[in-house]
Amino acid sequence: MENLKQETSRVISALPESATIVELMYELYVVDKVNKGKEALERGESQSTEELKKEMRTKSRKQNCATAHWIMNYQPAGLRSKEDIDRQITNERNSWDS
């Protein structure tokens, strides 16, 4: 398993030269969330399908759609253009405000 410094270096290396600090922070945020999810699984803190369905029913349809859309369209920064990343960040910010 990579240590934090190695993982951060890998994320930075995958970013395009024109990446902004916002893009870097976003990528690190995603890596952190994935790592926390893996650690929770190792501790046995996962949700069953039924528990997840119940949670999804309690959230608004808009929240569920936004989350599903983000998950389905996520790509590492190295595979996206700067315009795509900027558009995704703008869309995420707009969804938070509404």
How far is it, in rounded angstroms, from Cα 28 to Cα 31?
5
Residue with tokens 């952190």: 32
Q: Among 83, 86, 43, which Cα is nearest to 94's?
A: 86
Shortest CA distance to 86 belongs to which of 16, 23, 4?
23
pLDDT bracket for residue 96 (50, 70, 90) = low
Please give the pLDDT value at position 79: 60
**pLDDT tens per residue, range 78-93:** 566 667 767 777 777 7
- Which of 33-47, 58-72, 82-96 is modeled with the greatest confidence? 33-47
* Residue ranges covered by each domain of the chain: 4-97
The pair of three-digit structure tokens given for residue 7, joined into one six-digit string = 């993982």
* Pairwise CA distance, residues 77 & 24, whole Å: 9
- How high is the mean pLDDT of the chain? 76
